Amino acid sequence: MKTKIVAVVIFKEGEKVLIQDRKPWDKYGYDYGFFGGKIKQGENPEQTLKRELKEELEIDINLKDFKFVKHCKKQIPEIDLEIEYYLYVSKIPNLKKINCKEGKPVLIKIDDALKLRFNPGDKEILEEIR
């Protein structure tokens, strides 16, 4: 089983989350996910978040606004992948100030998001934060 180590953020306020519409470019065929990405060699999770959010949304973040939630692993046998997550939560950024470079931002109620096509690990995490 392959392993992918990621730092991701769930932007959440009340019952709403900001997720990433990744279709059609997600290489595993899942349509939605969280913002963030793969931790590169020599990076820590916070450095990854800063880099990824700059690349994906063109925003500079203040890590004081991000709360570390947990470090966990989720297995996705159907694609022979284990994802090791460093998971953070933050309030939803000002949507007028983001410029999404990868996919599209989707502001949605958590219950509605759970009906969408996420990888099973992301969906479990979304259910946990609900």
Could you give the number of structural domains in the chain?
1
SS3 label, residue 5: strand
The DSSP result for 18-84, as a single string, is EEEE-TTT-TT---EE-EEEEPPTT--HHHHHHHHHHHHH-----GGG-EEEEEEEEEEGGGTEEEE
Omega into 24 within 30° of 0, i.e. cis? yes
Q: In which domain, by residue range, is 57 found? A: 2-129
Task: Give per-residue pLDDT as tens, 79-100.
Answer: 999 999 999 999 999 999 999 9
The reported pTM is 0.92
Span 16-37, pLDDT tens digits: 999 999 987 787 889 999 999 9
Domain with residue 83: its CATH number is 3.90.79.10
